[in-house]
Amino acid sequence: MLILSLILILLFVAGDQAVKYLAVTYLQPDGPMTVIPGLLEFRYVENTGAAFGLLGDYTLILSIITAVCVVVVLAAMIFYQKHSFFSRVAGILIVGGGIGNLIDRFWHGYVIDYISVSFFPPVFNLADCFVVIGVILFLIHFFFFTNKDKGREKIIRSRR
């Protein structure tokens, strides 16, 4: 299962970087592209901050925090053997998105963002989506599944 997880992480990173390449190639020189008028637009933005443009101009600190988070989540995926579907997918998404944005920070000094929706002002990218969905899945796992598993273990032990 670990090999499959690593392959998926690499695919997510490759997909993220491919879309960012397209953003640089087509959006940077030509300007924004409206996909759904009044709702969705692709717009090239160089983001020196965190996800969704937060904490601008802290590139080095954000790079270090991102790298530490990626290493911690990856280590948990490798060394902790009890994973639910939610925790496994959450880890894959968080690591894939984190590495995708870390590559940008290392290579460019900023993250390439390109998705703009009318109801959410900050421009973001696919890697941001991966991280946010991964964190949501992890929280679902943590709040709805971990305590139930511990409760089941206690019941099983008490019956022995």
Residues with a known catalytic role: 113, 128
Q: What stretches of 13-86 adopt beta strand conformation (E)?
A: 33-36, 40-47
Distance CA 77, CA 20 (A): 27
Query: Strand, coil or helix: what is 44?
Result: strand
Query: What amino acid is encoded at 19 in this protein?
Result: V
Distance CA 137, CA 70 (A): 16
Q: Taking a C-beta distance cutoff of 8 angstroms, is the pair 118, 39 a contact?
A: yes
- DSSP-assigned beta bridge partners for residue 33: 42
Residue 42, token pair as written in the block: 């692709």
Q: Side-chain half-sphere of 49: how many Cα atoms within 13 Å?
A: 10
